[in-house]
Structure 1
Amino acid sequence: MAILILGIILFLGMHLIRVVAPDFRSRMVDKFGENGWKGIYSLLSIISLVVLIYGWAISPTINLWFPPTGMSHLTVTLMLLSMICLAAAELPAGHIATKTKHPMILGVKIWAFGHLLANGDLASLLLFGSFLAWGVILRIALKRRERAGLLTLRPFVSAKYDLIAVVIGAVIWALFIWKLHLWLIGVAPIPM
């Protein structure tokens, strides 16, 4: 469990650095250059993600509660919304991106909340609860930066990107339901 906690701290800590130390990125870019910093940040992110996944894999199953079977179905439904938000975050801004303001963060929060509903073990509580808390903290911090004029949101481009986000999100969601979740995570989202 300690390795899982370390992985969570490293991964989410790296992804909160812009919030707690907004000038840190610019100092690192000055020191290593844009591509150098992106390379270092990417490498550290991958290492922290590997630690997190390894910690998850070796954590003992300590059940805290037993969610009703229907929660997995609700989680599967929420994952469709999450995947659409994640897809919208990577496209030029449509209505989804402009209305949600930060679709990536919303997608992660939906993902974390949904998985908290369907999993009652300690490792799940730590992992998904941490990601949900990270999403809430980051969203609040970004809202404050926006109000202070330090952050400008992406302008609306076209509604066609909403349709593209829905299609891409639905395809990825269907792949996860079909086999991808089982192959990557080792658990079928809906036991067949």
Structure 2
Amino acid sequence: MNDWIIHLIEGGGYWGIAFLMVIENVFPPIPSEVIMGLGGIAVARGRMEFWPLMLAGTVGSTAGNYCWYLLGRTLGYERLKPFVNRFGRWLTVEWDDVEAIVRFFRRHGQWVVFAVRFAPFMRTMISLPAGLTRMGHGRFLLFTFAGAAIWNAILAGAGFYLGRNFGDLEKYTGPVATGTLVVVLIAYVWRVIVWKPRG
């Protein structure tokens, strides 16, 4: 897994980073912590530059979240509800959960689009109620870009620090990346198995 990520980063360069970050935010097979962390290590090794890395990662994050926003805005409540009812088992959500997220969004204001970019499980899903409540395109993109930029800077900075201070770090990034992916997949499968609708 680590080799595949590094191949995309080194072969695709900044486009590879952007592509991985889009996928991570549409359906997260690889956590952004791994992608931007490895990008930061690449900066420390002199293979990439920090600001182009930040731009690529943040644009990718914003584009991936925009897909969920457009889904909510285009489908709306009436057409989204049958989709959730049909595939809720695999999403481990039911319609009451969607309504609860929308109520939270309305209650706390649109600033949550910015704030939850730092929450591992909410930063993608908050884009859906933003679309359902028809938040303005410009405001959504601005808040998403700003929040994602700060989060990506933290991740890339951590990778840069590790890459500069630990010479043999590359020996461990492979097992860490693979282990992270395995944990995410196991957690998802376990949630699907034990999840039961309340209705």
Same structural fold, with TM-score higher than 0.5 when normalized by the shorter chain: no
Q: Which has the higher contact order (CA 8 A, sep 6+)?
A: 2
TM-score (norm. length: structure 1): 0.29
- Please identify which structure carries the higher helix content: 2
